[in-house]
Chains A and B, each alone.
Chain A
Amino acid sequence: MSVKEIETKKFVKNKFSEYYREHSSSIQPPTLIEKREFGFLMFKGRIMVRHKSFKNVDDLSKNLKTLVPSDAYYSSAYYERPEEKMEEKSWLGADLIFDIDADHIPTPCAKIHDTWVCNNCNIAGKGVLPEKCPACGEPRFNEKTWPCEVCLESAKIETLKLMDMLKQDFGFSSKETNLYFSGHRGYHLHVESEEVQSLDSMARKEIVDYIIGIGLETKLHGLVEERGARKARVLTGPNLEDPGWSGRIARGTYEFLLTATPSDLEEIRLKRKVIDTLTQHKETNLEKWKEKGPWGIIKGVDTASWRKIAQHGAEMQSAKIDTVVTTDTHRLIRLNNTLHGKTGLKKIEVPVTGFESFDPFKSAIAFKEGTLKIIVQDAPKFRLGDQTYGPYKNRQVELPTAAALLLLCKGRAKVKEEK
């Protein structure tokens, strides 16, 4: 680390310290604080201090003030003895947590603002992180992402789909579900209800598969061939207003047929002839949804093709959540109203009713006063509050504190020497 980088880090830490001194009263403790484990990622050495526990929110705030971590977490789990080693904590249950992060959603703009460098051979690329380095095959990278509006907008869409399933299918009330902006590139949804606390990770994995639609069989949702009159085979399928995934398959299929271009249809590997038929009969096809759906009505579209269409339609209805976060019953989750070390924004609760119009780049701003002089190496155009900044390339600028901190935290800028 260069001298400049160390200085920058110190500077950011000082700012965080300021925040925790002034806002300690806004720290929101998790339910049953005394049964939770806390963990803090430190600025120095990026060490994680774990197995902490607090009797009340005052102790917690005090600790934040003295420790000044880059990130603060608590366990989704409740423990008898949260301060003990993992094996001796005695697990009592855990909230059900969902994480929707832009990292898991391929967006077109990722190619513009995200970059990665292979730790092993130093080759660099743009866009979503590959599983393995295309050059040397090693799986470790240094990644630079960006909390971009377009990406967060697609995370919002996934979150809305998730919320719909949790409400309609699982029957969770709005009292049991809390929605948060993570402070970086996504949303967290916490379900706190006695009924889900004791679920083991196998059961949670089933819920994950349900949300993502993994293992979904259209056959088991009524897309089947039946022998009709004169032994002709007719295909029947689910209807738009059917409950659960049956309805979702129908609605997804409808949406897909409504919006699909011939090349979309090609992409799911339909035969040329099938594509032509579907394109020609698009209107009548969509009309059929008023009755029993278009299944089997159109000549020239065989069962196998319908399955492909339905499967793809279903895929569009699924919500792209992070699988690991939900299945891990010992997970540490970011504490509400604390700062995110990668942005200097804070994790905040989002009102479920106003979610659609929620603006993370306004509501999550933690530092509202003053300006800072920084030297930006490289930053895309971005918005914070009502202002737009950048793009910058190797430039010295004076920015409002929040915007400057964002660039410093993201490693896109350094502090200017203070005289």
Chain B
Amino acid sequence: MAKYPFTNEATEYAKELELKIEDISEPILNRAEHRIEEALLDAPVREQLVKEDVEISSFPVAVMMVASTADKLMKRRYALTEAKRAFNLLKEEKRDKILEVKNVFNWKIRPVDDKPPYKFALFFTDYLKNATRIQAKKWKLVNRIVLNGEVYLPKYDTVRLLQEEVRVHIEKKLDVKEKIALPQNVADRVERLKQAFTKQKGKIELEGFPKEVVISAFPPCIKHMYDGITSGHHLSHIGRFTLTAFLTNISMTTEEVVNLYRSLSDFKERLTRYQVEHIAGARGSRTKYIPPRCDTLRTHGVCTGMDEVCRSIRHPLAYYREKMRTIKVKAQ
């Protein structure tokens, strides 16, 4: 239970201990802070456990602390690290223990004994909800044994899917809309972590980590194509070019753009990657392309319904910059 503090049992237990944020003990706060440090500052993940009650209670406290930052990237990183921690522990566990953890997520899963190397049979919707977030050929459903609604899995893959589930589960916990009021001593710790993270992030960004892409600042034409692509619709050549050039110019990585096209039925990884890299200027001529101007897009039927902002600009990138400015002003 202490190993997997996100489970219902553990949550119940923490509640029983009646954690009040004002009087959380020093060891719990320390452990919570450490959890976050591990996640955000690439501190090595520690698997050895402190006292059980401390370990369990430190998790909801850490969640509260991270949630209070309202920093998306921070939240994502934290959830991922906690999920990876769980993965590393789970892959060493016996099958029964894994089957216990799955209860938390209401997975329909059962042990399998007569079909080596498979150890589990998982209901296909539970499989899909998680596997679609993992790239690699073996995760495509078509490359699995699917029988009577169940996907047959070896232990390692099952645990890997659980990691995804844990990640999303924690991300949801972190996604609180209301402002969280923390006592001063806890708020101070959060502030310290935040600053350390910002410093770290600066480093990461220089290493090519994407700045955040703000979809709500996309112009209508781009938004339309973006939504279309993510739901598997095909784009004209000019559409593809425009979308790709737009996204690489607002600092989406080649990887992320390629992933976007993955949902198309005629997706060819090598070719797509080549095209994206070409447009992003990572190949050949090394010129980075920019999307066409609005009037060109209009003649090609790519412009879909202008809005207020469109009237004041002549280029989709200008739209994005303009919109980002107003978003930032509002945020302040």
Min distance, Cβ B110 to any Cβ of chain A, angstroms:
13
Known A206-B140, A215-B137, A328-B231; judge A244-B236 contact (CB<8 A): no
Does A171 touch B at the CB level, under 8 Å?
Answer: yes
Min distance, Cβ A266 to any Cβ of chain B, angstroms:
25
What CA separation (Å) do A244 and B245 show in the bound complex? 41
Min distance, Cβ A204 to any Cβ of chain B, angstroms:
8
Q: Tell me which residues across on chain A come within 8 A of B123, comparing CB atoms.
A: 195
What CA separation (Å) do A199 and B148 show in the bound complex? 18
Min distance, Cβ A169 to any Cβ of chain B, angstroms:
5
Residue from A139, A170, A209 within 8 A of B142 (CB atoms):
A209
- Using CB atoms, name the residue of chain A closest to B125: A195
What CA separation (Å) do A207 and B145 show in the bound complex? 13
Residue from A201, A213, A246 within 8 A of B230 (CB atoms):
A201
What CA separation (Å) do A215 and B143 show in the bound complex? 8
What CA separation (Å) do A200 and B125 show in the bound complex? 10
Residues 193-217 of A, flagged 1 when their CB comes within 8 A of B and 0 if not, give 0011011111101111110111111
Residue from A168, A171, A199 within 8 A of B128 (CB atoms):
A199
Known A201-B231, A215-B137, A216-B142; judge A171-B125 contact (CB<8 A): no
Min distance, Cβ B12 to any Cβ of chain A, angstroms:
26
Does B281 touch A at the CB level, under 8 Å?
Answer: no
Chain A: residues with Cβ within 8 Å of the partner, total of 37
What CA separation (Å) do A220 and B232 show in the bound complex? 25
- Whether B142 pairs with A203 at a CB distance below 8 angstroms is no
- Using CB atoms, name the residue of chain A closest to B151: A244
Q: Tell me which residues across on chain B come within 8 A of A323, comparing CB atoms.
A: 232, 265
Does A79 touch B at the CB level, under 8 Å?
Answer: no
Residue from A212, A216, A246, A324 within 8 A of B232 (CB atoms):
A324
Q: Tell me which residues across on chain B come within 8 A of A328, comparing CB atoms.
A: 231-233
Please tell me the size bucket of the interface on B.
20 to 34
- Whether A329 pairs with B141 at a CB distance below 8 angstroms is no
Does A243 touch B at the CB level, under 8 Å?
Answer: yes
Chain A at the B interface: SS class: helix
Known A215-B137, A220-B137; judge A202-B263 contact (CB<8 A): yes
Q: Tell me which residues across on chain A come within 8 A of B146, comparing CB atoms.
A: 169-170, 210, 243-245
Q: Tell me which residues across on chain B come within 8 A of A203, comparing CB atoms.
A: 125, 128-129, 132
Does A327 touch B at the CB level, under 8 Å?
Answer: yes
Within 8 A of A (CB), among B263-292: 263, 265
Within 8 A of A (CB), among B197-238: 230-233, 236
Residues 176-196 of A, flagged 1 when their CB comes within 8 A of B and 0 if not, give 000000000000000000011
Min distance, Cβ B127 to any Cβ of chain A, angstroms:
9
- Using CB atoms, name the residue of chain A closest to B150: A171
- Whether B141 pairs with A139 at a CB distance below 8 angstroms is no
Does A13 touch B at the CB level, under 8 Å?
Answer: no
- Whether B148 pairs with A208 at a CB distance below 8 angstroms is no
Does B124 touch A at the CB level, under 8 Å?
Answer: yes
- Whether A205 pairs with B263 at a CB distance below 8 angstroms is yes
Does A65 touch B at the CB level, under 8 Å?
Answer: no
- Whether B263 pairs with A215 at a CB distance below 8 angstroms is no
Does A51 touch B at the CB level, under 8 Å?
Answer: no
Q: Tell me which residues across on chain A come within 8 A of B314, comparing CB atoms.
A: none
Q: Tell me which residues across on chain B come within 8 A of A217, comparing CB atoms.
A: 137-138, 143
- Whether B147 pairs with A168 at a CB distance below 8 angstroms is yes
What CA separation (Å) do A409 and B3 show in the bound complex? 68
- Using CB atoms, name the residue of chain B closest to A198: B125
- Whether A244 pairs with B144 at a CB distance below 8 angstroms is yes
Instruction: Identify which of A172, A195, A196, A203 gathers the most chain B CB atoms within 10 Å of its CB.
Output: A203
Instruction: Identify which of A168, A202, A217, A329 gathers the most chain B CB atoms within 10 Å of its CB.
Output: A202
- Whether A171 pairs with B148 at a CB distance below 8 angstroms is yes
Does B63 touch A at the CB level, under 8 Å?
Answer: no
Known A171-B149, A243-B147, A327-B231; judge A214-B137 contact (CB<8 A): no
Does B166 touch A at the CB level, under 8 Å?
Answer: no
- Whether B147 pairs with A169 at a CB distance below 8 angstroms is yes
Residue from B125, B137, B147, B231 within 8 A of A244 (CB atoms):
B147
- Whether B140 pairs with A244 at a CB distance below 8 angstroms is no
Known A206-B141, A217-B137, A328-B231; judge A199-B125 contact (CB<8 A): yes
Within 8 A of B (CB), among A249-270: none
Q: Tell me which residues across on chain B come within 8 A of A216, comparing CB atoms.
A: 140, 142-143
What CA separation (Å) do A245 and B140 show in the bound complex? 12
Min distance, Cβ B239 to any Cβ of chain A, angstroms:
11
- Using CB atoms, name the residue of chain A closest to B131: A206
- Whether B140 pairs with A209 at a CB distance below 8 angstroms is yes
What CA separation (Å) do A198 and B137 show in the bound complex? 24
- Whether A243 pairs with B145 at a CB distance below 8 angstroms is yes
Within 8 A of B (CB), among A23-51: none
Within 8 A of A (CB), among B138-174: 138, 140-150
- Whether A220 pairs with B138 at a CB distance below 8 angstroms is yes
Min distance, Cβ B69 to any Cβ of chain A, angstroms:
28
- Whether B142 pairs with A215 at a CB distance below 8 angstroms is yes
Does A221 touch B at the CB level, under 8 Å?
Answer: yes
What CA separation (Å) do A204 and B320 show in the bound complex? 31
Instruction: Identify which of B131, B138, B142, B231 gathers the most chain A CB atoms within 10 Å of its CB.
Output: B142
What CA separation (Å) do A32 and B282 show in the bound complex? 52
What CA separation (Å) do A170 and B150 show in the bound complex? 7
What CA separation (Å) do A246 and B118 show in the bound complex? 15
Min distance, Cβ B142 to any Cβ of chain A, angstroms:
5
A-B contacts, 11 listed (Cβ < 8 Å): A168-B147, A206-B142, A209-B142, A210-B142, A212-B265, A214-B265, A243-B147, A245-B142, A245-B145, A323-B232, A324-B233
The 4 closest A-B pairs by CB, nearest first: A171-B149, A203-B128, A327-B232, A171-B148
User: Other CB < 8 Å A-B pairs besides A199-B128, A244-B146, A327-B232, 19 of them?
Assistant: A169-B146, A169-B147, A171-B148, A201-B230, A201-B231, A201-B263, A206-B140, A207-B128, A207-B141, A212-B265, A215-B143, A216-B143, A217-B143, A243-B147, A245-B142, A245-B143, A245-B146, A323-B265, A329-B231
